[in-house]
Chains A and B, each alone.
Chain A
Amino acid sequence: MLDNERNGTMSLFNQSEKAYLLLANGQIFEGRSFGAKGTVIGEVVFTTSLTGYEETLTDPSYYGQIVTQTFPLIGNYGVNEADKESDKSYVSGYIVREWCNAPSNFRMEGDINSFLEKENIIGLHNIDTRRLTRTIREAGVMNGVITTENVYEKKDEFLEKIKAYEIKNAVKSVTANKNFTYSEENPKYRVVLMDFGYKRNIRNELVKRGCEVIVVPAYTTADEIKALSPDGIMLSNGPGNPAENVEIIGNLKEIVKLGIPIFGICLGHQLMALAHGGRTEKLKYGHRGANQPVIDLESGKTYVTSQNHGYAVVGESIDESIASVSHINANDKTCEGIKYKNSNAFTVQFHPEAHGGPLDTAYLFDEFISRMNKEEK
């Protein structure tokens, strides 16, 4: 009896505090609060992934953003330490239709509400998330505020802040402050992982393949990397507008000259393009989800990939004498991957490391390894 009564508080009609989302266009969504209380500003984006909410919450690429889940039932299998993609949650706020107060999974260590409370993330639930998604799709991503305060009274004040808001110094806010080394016994390769806000599974995929991975801060220079004498360099994912990372882009120009095989993912892919004179642009509402089709132009095959990016490399901005577009998105044909001709480098916009999402492109890590093998010869 006790057991059932304990579960008698439901996410929909529990008496939790009201909470609101105010968008830059003045639209207000009224829902209920979960996670932390208070007010937070962020760029409101949506992801269509069905699973992997914990990975989303702990993916540093979401820094500065309020993330909306389009799948309505979130938190079904709870949260656990092993599924975290970084040490903490970097999202500004979190919006779901319904969170699960009685999660069920053998690895579950807690529910999503407690997780958000602990991480001090302000959450909003019980709103028409599909309406919000469609609004963002039509108008493009926009800033917004989630608040448990009276939004109607403070609307003007909030709107002013929303207008002024911009995600800045994103990489600086999430990168490591020193080097960390990870390895299994008797590693075969040494890889420097440049941390622009890396997801743990990038590291794990490398370690799994016999790499000693040295995670280095985003601002590490070519000389510093050279001193570590790596077999390969991994450029990680990360948050924010790629073009604001002027210093890193400058470093990359030198790092490329080291002649070491380079593999870039997401922000790493964008920064490489910028270092080679390419251009990035902001997409209307980005690609966020676990079902994005990407065509490998070489083989003609299409892969289902996990994605999370608001900016993309402009394919036409790539100097064909230096590099060529290797992958495009099957839906909107945006650039999803580049192969470099002047150096042993290749980069992709999507996430072969998955977590969450499909594992179909994990073979790219093997390709990276084989590039390091060739180097040995």
Chain B
Amino acid sequence: MPLRSDIKKVLVIGSGPIIIGQAAEFDYAGAQACRALKQEGLEVVLINSNPATIMTDKAMADKIYIEPLTLDVVKRVIEIEKPDSVLSTLGGQTGLTLSMQLAEEGFLESHNVKLLGAVPETIHKAEDRQAFKDTMEKIGEPCIPSKVVETIDDAVDFAKIIGYPVIVRPAFTLGGTGGGIANNEDELRDISKNGLRLSPITQVLIEKCISGWKEIEFEVIRDRKGNVITVCSMENFDPVGIHTGDSIVIAPAVTLSDREYQMLRTAAINIISELKVEGGCNCQFALHPTSFEYAVIEVNPRVSRSSALASKATGYPIAKVATKIAIGYTLDEIINQVTGKTYACFEPALDYVVIKFPKWAFDKFVYAKRTLGTQMKATGEVMAIGTSFEQAMMKAVRSIELGLDSMNLKKLEKKSTAEIMQMLHTVDDERAFQVYEALKRGVSIDEIHKLTMIDKWFLNKLMNLVNLEKWLADGELTVEKYNTAKQYGYLDSTIERMSGQKCPIHRDAVFKMVDTCAGEFKAETPYFYSTFDEENEAEQFIERKNTGKKKVIVFGSGPIRIGQGIEFDYCSVHCVWTLKELGYEAIICNNNPETVSTDFDTGDRLYFDPLTKEDVSSIIATEKPYGVVVQFGGQTAIKLTRHLADMGVNILGTSADMIDAAEDRERFDEVLEKCGIPRPAGHTVMTTEEAVKAAESLGYPVLLRPSYVLGGQNMIIAHSEADVVEYMGIITSHMIENPVLIDKYMMGTEVEVDAICDGKDFLIPGIMEHIERAGVHSGDSISVYPAQNLSKKIRDTIIEYTGRLAKELHVIGLVNIQYVVYNNQVYVIEVNPRSSRTVPYISKVTGIPMVDIATKIMFGATLKELGYESGLYPEGDYVAVKVPVFSFEKLQDVDTMLGPEMKSTGECLGIAHTFEDALLKGLVGAGYDLKKEGGVFISVRDTDKSEIVAIADKFSRMGFELYGTSGTASYLNKNMIATNLVRKISEPEPNTITLLESGKIHYVISTSAKGRLPARDSVKLRRKSVERSICSLTAIDTARALANVLATNRTIDDVELVDITKI
């Protein structure tokens, strides 16, 4: 059954902004889908609100709408483009839910559009709790005792029957948002109340808690002929109870005998066959650790984070195959690209093990509740491939960028054994390290197993690492010891530190191929991982291929985290495409399984390995590249520059020395002085005393941050000495060894520029102005292109400064510069001699392929040759607004107030002919429910009070009812704006909380001089708003902009949709 003849034009729905639970994996899946469709000669229409993605690139689809993913907007796109089909299963939960709504309303039928992938009956059976239970019962697959309820009382009644603890799972929410484990009635009432509210259909499932069982997943794929295979099994290190997105996962499952394995595999096949999924499907099981009893936990009839992991773990491209199945092909017709000989209708065999390790944002959110449960909290993940569990684990902890090179977490070493044991009673992000510390202290495996229910197999493997480390520290470091440690995944530097001796020899890693078939067939996949073994297949591969082309390595950006997201993958992938176009062999090194860059056919070769000095040295030794590119992989790649330069590797683009000049505070000050460019006054300090002294000399408020920052990590504005002391305390406890920078804080307009420079000329595709004034991290600000409020003089100054800096730093390629305009003066805040988060956004809205140009320039092209004038590129017809998106509902106790520390996980785009319309789109895309009536609650700090008057007035004139706490309310009333007084949270009820719970309030405007600490009233107010899904504005500027948008009285329906391929 080849391609269906009735399919010519397909609409692909993407997954929208990156949020916790729905990340880059859907860009990977979507990009694969688009490519697979285009390969078949089909016309592809794409809608996704996320501009940072590769799938929204011109090369990926014929028509691209970066528009809000709302039902109405998707309908409009269908009306404009008239596709004959919609692909439902590649855009995560967002894409699936939208597709189902379109189908259920009869919209698809009435517009003659076919639904490809999963049909509504399938989606319903898999996602509706009761329907799912009934379906499982029908085919004899056991489920956990559970009941769907729609009220809190029903939840409590059912829990009485099955007994506590129970798990609450809201229907149709992402990453289990709003769910949790309740140990008693009080907790159950709390959790189910929240869960019911968050569920779009007001349903939660109350289920017997089976924590302690093994959690096993299967990725299954089926075609319409009924052929079905399992691509990969996965086992969670943590037993059931921890969201799989927050678990360390190993593939394939390792503690299951063939009997158990086949039992669950067969169950997975029975389920997908009964659901009649055509494409990929994820089945999660709980397996009793001491019997054959099991239960189906969950089924996702679409590609998912797990399927991305399974694809990278096995080399089997699930999204691509699922797409081909959706348009009519069957598994036996689709060639396995990896071998080129075998077919997609087979099950991959692995001859290595894979470990996925989650990346959490707790290093940034110091006050966030770190406890893990059924609600996912990780922002990203890394994958490591090894020939042993130990080796893969060591690679994973190196890749996760916590500054670790082993399982030893320094801060745990100071704890008593009793404290460590206490920690093991609850699960948080450091669980694996706590277990390791306990093993090191001699706590028995049995005892740890009893406490954690982590399978003894894993504990014994960790014990092997403990023993190896003891062995290293004991006696002479022999070659035998060295070799063993290498096989176990230790770096030379770690071996030397642990043994206190120089390594007797040095071995470079060899590379093995990921070939889907454990070597059974000859494969040509250019996909490698390092190990310490006899044969180097990468070397053989390079010799055999011998293309004669020059080789260039592009270093990727590692795990997705706040501050370093999918944008950098976009840049890395574009660089690779251009390198190929220029006739180079492009080689990618990265460790993030969610991304397009780690798709084995993106580059000419892929090395899936940690991005540390020694790891990349081995790759260099095997590849012997002509040069390397570091400027597209964020700080992760930039950090390697000095080491690579020392090795004598040719750094393409801006030199290592100049990168250092931009990052080193003193050198950078010299550069600025030479260029005659002012910056806010500042100092470098190491201790609390120095910091306090420096702050006094600068005058409060001051900005504090560690040098070599990423995404404003641990950056604050201090208004008093107490703030400085608190901050320095946190920084020193995190053992950050770099100095702390302390600057005068200027609350002006923030302006951002990405420029391309060839050493002589420079091109600024566009100047971006932030709606929020300096003080809100640039990644959390609403960014507007072109700048709306800058005078010509200021603009010219910015262009002039950019040129001077680019030339002085000898920038070859991209540079990102942040300015603050304060009292009509332009100051430089920061210069990043690399690509930035705004590059994909600005590339798409200006139509200038920035990475492509930058890459060509690295190889000697000039801007003139490429047809660009020096200076600012003429502005286009559209205004484009980038609106940040947050995942606050996933992260308990995190203060939502915007500040110098970045908090957003993703972004979306609004594009229109006017600023207001663009912002309207951006806000809708970001999930703001722009209600035109109801209550506005206002509570702002004293410094904001004068400015809030005009904003409050605007809301009031639009007919909103205003509420405020004493200070704000009396200030507004004094200014003749009628405001209801509400008691503070700390005061008796009815108070602010009662009001928020009442449902009367649709907007909260809350700013406070202090924040962060969860116990503060202002933080509680903002958290409550998040929990109640009330639109919460924490910067005066955002509030003003939103009020202006509301005042235009336009809705998204009034705004034209834009196909960005036409820009």
Binding site for B on A (CB under 8 A): 1-4, 7-8, 10, 12-13, 46, 48-52, 54-55, 70-73, 76-77, 83, 97-98, 100, 102-107, 127-131, 133-134, 137-138, 289-293, 295, 300-302, 304, 330-331, 354-360
For this complex, 14 residue pairs linking A to B, each with C-beta atoms less than 8 Å apart, are A4-B442, A10-B464, A12-B388, A12-B487, A50-B252, A51-B256, A83-B258, A133-B351, A134-B519, A291-B349, A301-B226, A304-B230, A356-B258, A359-B265
Q: Cβ of B353: which chain A residues have Cβ within 8 Å of it?
A: 72-73
Contact B445 A1 (CB under 8 A): no
Question: Which one of A70, A71, A130 has the greatest number of beta carbons of chain B within 10 Å?
Answer: A130
A73 with B522: CB separation less than 8 A:
no
Residues from chain B with a CB closer than 8 A to the CB of A105 are 255-257
Rounded to whole angstroms, the CA-CA distance of A235 and B13 in the bound complex is 54
Given A13-B468, A98-B388, A55 contacting B349 (CB threshold 8 A): no
Give the residues in chain B near A46, CB-CB below 8 Å: 519-520
> Given A48-B517, A130-B518, A133-B518, 14 other A-B contacts at CB below 8 A?
A7-B460, A49-B349, A55-B258, A71-B349, A83-B257, A102-B463, A128-B535, A289-B520, A295-B332, A304-B346, A330-B342, A358-B265, A359-B262, A360-B269
1/0 contact trace for B206-230 toward A, CB 8 Å? 0000000000000000000111011
The verdict on B412 contacting chain A, using a C-beta distance below 8 Å, is no
CA distance A302 to B533 in the complex (A): 37
- Which residues from B are CB-within-8-Å of A97? 387-388
Which of B256, B262, B517 is within 8 Å of A354, CB to CB?
A: B262
- Give A11's nearest chain B residue, CB to CB: B464
**Residues of B with C-beta under 8 A to A1:** 442, 444
User: Within the assembled complex, what's the spacing in Å between the Cα atoms of A51 and B347?
Assistant: 13
> Min CB distance, B332 to chain A, in Å?
5
Q: Per-residue 0/1 for B256-277: is the Cβ within 8 Å of any A Cβ (1 yes, 0 no)? A: 1111011001100100000000
Q: Known A12-B388, A137-B520, A354-B262; judge A107-B257 contact (CB<8 A).
A: yes
B352: nearest chain-A partner, CB-CB: A72
A12-B487, A98-B388, A137-B520 given; A330·B343 CB < 8 A? yes
Residues of A within 8 A of B322 (CB): none
Are B347 and A304 interface neighbours, CB within 8 A? yes
Q: Which residues of B contact A356 (CB under 8 A)?
A: 258, 262
Query: B460 contacts A102, CB within 8 Å?
Result: yes
Interface residues of B in 453-489 (CB under 8 A from A): 455-457, 460, 463-464, 466-468, 471, 480-481, 484, 487-488
Q: Interface of B with A (CB < 8 Å)?
A: 225-227, 229-230, 233, 252, 254-259, 261-262, 265-266, 269, 289-291, 331-332, 341-343, 345-353, 387-389, 439, 442, 444-446, 455-457, 460, 463-464, 466-468, 471, 480-481, 484, 487-488, 512, 517-522, 533-535
Write out the residue numbers on chain B whose beta carbons fall within 8 Å of the beta carbon of A106: 289-291
Q: Give chain A nearest CB distance to B141 CB in angstroms.
A: 15
Q: Is the Cβ of A10 less than 8 Å from the Cβ of B468?
A: yes
Known contacts A4-B442, A104-B456: A133-B519 contact under CB 8 Å:
yes
Assembled-state Cα–Cα distance A77/B289 (Å): 12
From B390, which residue of chain A is reached at the shortest CB distance?
A12
Q: Please measure, in the bound complex, the distance between the C-alpha atom of A73 and the C-alpha atom of B345, giving whole angstroms.
A: 26
State in angstroms the CA–CA spacing of A129 and B350 once bound together. 12
Which B residues are CB-close (under 8 A) to A52? Answer: 258
Judge whether A304 and B266 touch: CB under 8 Å: no
Which of A49, A304, A356 has the most chain B CB atoms inside 10 A of its CB? A304
* Nearest 6 pairs of A and B residues by beta carbon: A52-B258, A102-B460, A356-B258, A291-B347, A48-B349, A104-B457
Indicate if the CB atoms of A331 and B388 lie closer than 8 Å: no
Question: Which A residue's beta carbon lies closest to that of B343?
Answer: A330
Pairwise interchain contact B389-A13, C-beta atoms closer than 8 A? no
CA distance A304 to B262 in the complex (A): 12
Inter-chain contacts of A12 with B (CB < 8 A): 388, 464, 484, 487-488
Name the residue of chain B whose CB is nearest to the CB of A108. B257
A321 → chain B closest CB, angstroms: 29
Most chain B Cβ neighbours within 10 Å, of A49, A128, A292, A354: A128
CB-defined contacts of B480 to chain A, threshold 8 Å:
13
Determine whether the beta carbon of A358 is less than 8 Å from that of B388. Answer: no
Check if A104 sits within 8 Å of B460, measured CB to CB: yes
Residue of A nearest to B519 (CB): A133
Residues of A within 8 A of B467 (CB): 4, 7-8, 10
Residues of B within 8 A of A107 (CB): 257
B330 to chain A, nearest CB (A): 8
Task: Note all chain A residues with C-beta closer than 8 A to B289.
Answer: 106
Which residues on the B side are within 8 Å of A8 (C-beta)?
463, 467
List residues of chain B with CB within 8 A of the CB of A301: 225-227
Task: Using known A-B contacts A291-B346, A292-B346, A293-B343, determine if residue A304 contacts B256 with beta carbons closer than 8 Å.
Answer: no
Q: CA–CA, A293 to B332, complex, Å? A: 9
> Contacting B332 at CB < 8 Å: which of A70, A130, A290, A302?
A302
Contact in complex: B457, A76 (CB < 8 Å): yes
Q: How far is the CA of A356 from the CA of B262 in the complex (A)?
A: 8
Check if B258 sits within 8 Å of A330, measured CB to CB: no
A80 to chain B, nearest CB (A): 8
Instruction: Determine whether the beta carbon of A331 is less than 8 Å from that of B521.
Output: yes
The residues of A that contact B457 with a CB separation of less than 8 Å are 76-77, 100, 102-104
Whole-angstrom distance from the CB of B835 to the nearest CB of chain A? Answer: 37
Distance in angstroms between the alpha carbons of A345 and B331 in the assembled complex:
30
CB contacts (< 8 Å) of B519 on chain A: these are: 46, 48, 70, 130, 133-134, 137
A7 touches B445 (CB 8 A): yes
Question: B346 near A130 (CB under 8 angstroms)?
Answer: no
Q: Are B347 and A128 in contact, with the CB atoms below 8 A?
A: no
For residue A137, which residues in chain B have a CB less than 8 angstroms away from its CB? 519-522
How far, in whole Å, are A83 and B258 apart by their CA atoms in the complex?
Answer: 9
B456:A302 contact, CB within 8 angstroms: no
Bound-state CA distance A290–B265 (Å) is: 12
Q: A4-B445, A48-B520, A304-B347 are in contact. Are A357 and B262 (CB under 8 A)?
A: yes
Q: Which residue of B lies closest to A354 (CB)?
A: B262
Q: Is the CB of A130 within 8 A of B258?
A: no
A302 touches B345 (CB 8 A): yes
Select B387's contact among A48, A72, A293, beta carbons within 8 Å.
Answer: A72
A4→B465 CA distance, assembly (Å): 12
Contact of A330 among B233, B332, B352, B468 (CB under 8 A): B332
Residues of A near B460 (CB, < 8 A) are 7, 102, 104
Contact B258 A357 (CB under 8 A): yes
- State which of A77, A129, A138, A354 has its C-beta within 8 Å of the C-beta of B257: A77
Contact B484 A13 (CB under 8 A): yes
> In the complex, are the beta carbons of B351 and A77 less than 8 A apart?
no
Contacts of B230 in A (CB 8 A): 304
B468-A104 in contact (CB<8A): no
Instruction: Tell me which residues across on chain A come within 8 A of B342, comparing CB atoms.
Output: 293, 330-331
Cβ distance A55 to chain B, nearest Cβ, rounded Å: 6
Q: A293 — which chain B residues lie within 8 A by C-beta?
A: 229, 332, 342-343, 345-346
Is there an interface contact between B533 and A131, defined as CB atoms closer than 8 Å?
yes
Q: Decide: A4 near B254, CB < 8 A? Known: A73-B389, A130-B535, A137-B521.
A: no
Cβ-defined contact, A130 with B468, below 8 A: no
Assembly CA distance A54 to B517 (angstroms): 21
Minimum distance in angstroms from A134 CB to a CB of chain B: 5
Q: With the chains together, A104 CA to B331 CA distance in Å? A: 36
Residues on A with beta carbons closer than 8 Å to the beta carbon of B471: 13
CB of B270 to closest CB in A, whole Å = 10
Q: How far is the CA of A59 from the CA of B118 in the complex (A)?
A: 42
Interfacial chain A residues near B351, Cβ < 8 Å? 48, 70-72, 129-130, 133
C-alpha spacing A191/B454, complex, angstroms:
46
Interchain CA distance A347-B690 in the complex, whole Å? 85
With a cutoff of 8 Å between Cβ atoms, the chain B residues found around residue A76 in the complex are 254-255, 457
CB closest residue in chain A, given B233: A50
In the assembled complex, the CB of A110 is this many whole angstroms from the nearest CB of chain B, namely 13
CB distance from B463 to the nearest CB of A (A): 6
Closest to B342 in A: A331
| Min distance, Cβ A73 to any Cβ of chain B, angstroms | 6
How far apart are B924's CB and chain A's nearest CB, in angstroms?
46
B227 touches A359 (CB 8 A): no
